[in-house]
């Protein structure tokens, strides 16, 4: 399956509470989001499975895949389209084995050491970051800036999105660095109008 990484929305329970999770995501998809990741570090598995099922129904027919952050069991139980794992979130090869060939599997990469030792075999894309410091993720790695991002993209065997502190005006710089597009939380989820906020990423 060809994956459209033009604008990747990652959800946050606190920021999405303003309009509601499903309402925020549906509005953002109307605004042009091409991929959605359900990310909630504190929900129980059952809560996350319920959220994933509701999001899956809301996204049905849109062509926008739903990816689950971290938890393979939730991706399996909710029949989601894929899984995003970090360096310490488990084995991507095991996730591929469990989810099958059609699933979309992404991995976070923060530096060249991680890039050099990754096995692209089970993966579809990489999430590179943070580009900038962000308050949305605790204990994030050292920011790359756009030059650091470009160097990581150049070393990547897979298509990549950039994440961390990105706003609508950064789209051109993200693509100029070689990434397929930005992945964002607060620039869409926390906004008064998530549809307009997503649309702003495509404004020239
Ligand atoms: C698209 C994308 N890129 C990077 C991340 C970060 O993943 P990770 O390092 O596992 O951190 P958490 O999101 O689990 O806190 C991501 N989620 N999505
Ligand atoms: C979930 C996440 N991962 C990051 C990484 O660097 O791997 S930065 C980040 C948070 C991105 O949120 P915002 O768009 O609000 O800055
Ligand atoms: Mg993770």
CATH number of 26's domain: 3.20.20.70
What band does 203 get if pLDDT is binned at 50, 70 and 90? confident
Query: Which range marks the domain in which residue 69 is found?
Result: 8-202
Question: Is 52 a member of any domain?
Answer: yes
Sign of the dihedral through C-alpha 42, 48, 54, 60: positive
- Asked if the structure places residue 89 within a domain, the reply is yes
87 bridge partner residues:
none
Give the tokens for residue 101: 């060939």
**Confidence band for 1, pLDDT divided at 50, 70 and 90:** low
62 is catalytic: no
Residue 204 appears among annotated catalytic residues: no
Number of folded domains that form the chain = 1
10 lines ligand 1 (CB under 6 A): yes
Domain assignment of residue 1, yes or no: no
Average pLDDT in the chain? 97
Q: What is the mean pLDDT of residues 50-76?
A: 98
In a domain, 166, yes or no: yes
- Give the integer Cα–Cα distance in Å for 69 and 1: 20
Ligand with the closest atom to the CA of 67: 1
Distance CA 181, CA 4 (A): 9
Report if residue 2 sits inside a domain.
no
In sequence order, which residues have a C-beta less than 8 Å from that of residue 23 and are 6 or more positions away?
none
């Amino acid at each position: 399956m060809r994956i459209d990484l033009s604008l990747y929305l990652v959800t946050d329970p606190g920021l999405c509470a303003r309009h509601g999770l499903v309402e925020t995501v549906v509005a953002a998809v109307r605004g042009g989001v091409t991929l959605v990741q359900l990310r909630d570090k504190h929900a129980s598995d059952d809560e996350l499975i319920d959220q994933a099922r509701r999001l899956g129904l809301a996204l049905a027919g849109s062509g926008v895949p739903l990816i689950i952050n971290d938890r393979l069991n939730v991706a399996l139980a909710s029949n989601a389209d894929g899984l995003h794992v970090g360096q310490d979130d488990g084995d991507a090869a095991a996730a591929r084995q469990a989810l099958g060939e059609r699933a979309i599997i992404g991995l976070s990469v923060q530096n060249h050491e991680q890039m050099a030792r990754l096995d692209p075999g089970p993966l579809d894309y990489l999430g590179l970051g943070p580009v900038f410091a962000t308050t949305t993720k605790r204990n994030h790695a050292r920011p790359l800036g756009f030059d650091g991002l470009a160097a990581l993209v150049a070393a990547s065997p897979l298509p990549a999105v950039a994440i961390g502190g990105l706003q609508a005006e950064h789209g051109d710089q993200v693509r100029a660095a070689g990434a397929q597009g930005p992945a964002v939380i607060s620039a869409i989820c926390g906004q008064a109008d998530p549809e307009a906020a997503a649309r702003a990423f495509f404004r020239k």
